[in-house]
Amino acid sequence: MTAQALVRRLLGVIPTLLITWTVVFGAMRLVPGDPVLLMLQGTPISDAAMDAARAKLGVDRPFVVQYVSFLLGAAQGDFGDSFRSRQPVTKLIAAEFPYTLQLALGGLLVGVVLGVSLGTAAGVWPGGWIDTLCMTAALAGLSLPSFWIAMLLIQVFATQLGWVPVLGTGLNALILPSISLGLFIAGGLARLIRNSIIDVMAQDYIRTARAKGLTAFRVVAKHAARNAMIPPLTLLGIQFAVLIGGAVVTETVFARPGIGRLLVQAVLEKDFPVVQGVVVLTTAAYVLINVLIDIAYGIIDPRVQS
Does CATH place domain 93-300 in 1.10.3720.10? yes
Q: Do residues 192 and 232 lie in contact, with contact meaning Cβ atoms separated by under 8 Å?
A: yes
Please say if the pLDDT value at position 75 is more than 80: no
For residue 82, count other CB atoms closer than 10 A to its CB.
21
What is the tens place of the pLDDT at every residue in 6-50?
Answer: 677 667 777 877 888 888 778 777 766 666 666 666 666 777 777
pLDDT grade for 211, boundaries at 50, 70 and 90: confident
88: helix, coil or strand? strand
Q: What is the pLDDT of residue 17?
A: 78
DSSP secondary structure code for residue 32 in this structure: S
For the chain, the structural domain boundaries read 93-300
With 0-12 / 13-18 / 19 or more C-beta atoms within 10 angstroms meaning exposed / middle / buried, residue 92 is buried
* Average pLDDT of the segment spanning 265-281: 80
Q: Averaged over 129-135, what is the pLDDT? A: 87
When pLDDT is cut at 50, 70 and 90, the band that residue 253 belongs to is confident
